[in-house]
Amino acid sequence: MLKLVGIIPPVVTPVNEDESIDEDSLTRQLKRLKDEGVHGFFILGSAGEFVSLRDSERRKVIQISVAHMKGKLPILVGTMDTSTLRTIENAKVAEDMGADAVVVTAPFYYNYSSKEVMRHFELVSKSVNIPVVIYNIPQLTKFNMRPEEVVSLSSIENIIGIKDSSGSYTNLLSLLEALGDREDFFILIGEENIAGIGMAMGADGAIMAIANIAPSLSVKMYEVAKAGRMDELKQLQARLRKLMRIYDFGAPISCLKAALSLMGIGNGKACEPFEKLTNEAYEGIKQVLNELGLLP
């Protein structure tokens, strides 16, 4: 059985000026993350700009990731889309290309009822023979998965976990109370501000974008949380929050890519219509990275 534990970065997707995949930079980022101890990869997530990439480039991301990391660490592939059939098509492509699991949100753009969203997950899960992970991100899908809905979906054999990016500590506690003792269902935190305490409370790990920048710090936070070393956890969470100041300088995607470019990975470009950050923003991000010792 696939186990989803620890730090699983939602991998940033480096692109060239024409928004084709920067294969060298993506490969180096995957290797860097692995070398610094992460426990898996989530490609084509929100931080990976899945919604902005052309279908051909999405497939290229899967191809590169599988070619370099298949069998080394679990590869989760985002297959989110605006309808059930589109999501199923994405999921089948990911499965055929070697994904270890697919990650699925509620369909977005239209407003859907709870019954409709539940049917969406049921149909997607039946369409593939690999595990499915629920992705709860209500700020972008306009639908918040209630704990009782997650419990119901967890009875489906190949739905094995949830990435909860709601940012609600109450929601997280409810999930842990209902599902925390299950060995066949994994609770992963998608909100960086509560990742440390959430893992200490029993969450299995975290899928957080900032791990692209500081994977070893994120892994250390997971290890300390699981060991119950709360004073040390508090210090590490504080360092992570300092690093999150990079988000003060623009759109989160643009800031992540700018930070990576300063670390020698990619050119800092985010997909249109995101603007390239100003020189002043780059200097601000550089200062944050320097203060935390993340630049040579």
In a domain? residue 279: no
pLDDT band at 240, cuts 50/70/90? very high
Given a cut of 90, whether residue 1 has pLDDT beyond it is no
Three-class secondary structure of residue 18 per DSSP: coil
Does residue 135 lie in a domain region?
yes
For residue range 71-81, list pLDDT tens digits in order: 999 999 999 99
Q: Residue 14 falls within a domain, yes or no?
A: yes
Give the pLDDT band (50/70/90) at residue 31: very high
Return the residue matching tokens 């509620």: 106
What's the average model confidence in pLDDT over 91-104?
Answer: 99
Please provide residue 214's backbone torsions phi and psi, each rounded to the nearest 5 degrees.
Answer: -130, 70
What pLDDT band is residue 115 in, cutting at 50, 70 and 90? very high
Our count of domains for the chain comes to 1
Is 209 a member of any domain? Answer: yes
**Full residue range of the structural domain in which residue 86 is found:** 6-230
Q: What is the mean pLDDT of the chain?
A: 98
Whether 136 maps to a domain, the answer reads yes
Sequence-distant (6+) residues with CB within 8 A of 178 are 147, 148, 150, 151
Q: Does residue 62 surpass a pLDDT of 90?
A: yes
Spell out the residues 6+ positions from residue 47 whose beta carbon is closer than 8 angstroms to its own: 9, 10, 11, 12, 209, 212, 252, 253, 256
Q: Is residue 248 part of a domain?
A: no
- pLDDT confidence band for 168 (50 / 70 / 90): very high
Q: Is residue 246 assigned to a domain?
A: no
Are 38 and 219 in contact by the 8 Å Cβ rule? The answer is: yes
Question: Tens of pLDDT along 172-189?
Answer: 999 999 999 999 999 999
Q: What is the mean pLDDT of residues 109-121?
A: 98
271 lies in some domain: no
* The predicted structure's pLDDT at residue 116: 98
Cβ atoms 77, 62 nearer than 8 A: yes
291 contacts: CB under 8 Å, gap ≥ 6: 242
pLDDT, position 296: 82
Q: Which of 36, 37, 13 is CA-nearest to residue 25?
A: 13
- Note the pLDDT tens digit of each residue in 189-235: 999 999 999 999 999 999 999 999 999 999 999 999 999 999 999 99
> Tell me: the pLDDT tens digits for 267-289?
999 999 999 999 999 999 999 99
In this structure, what is the dihedral angle of CA atoms 166, 2, 58, 81, given to the nearest 10 degrees?
-40
Check which CATH number belongs to the domain holding 177 and give it.
Answer: 3.20.20.70
What distance, in Å, lies between the first and last C-alpha atoms of the chain? 40
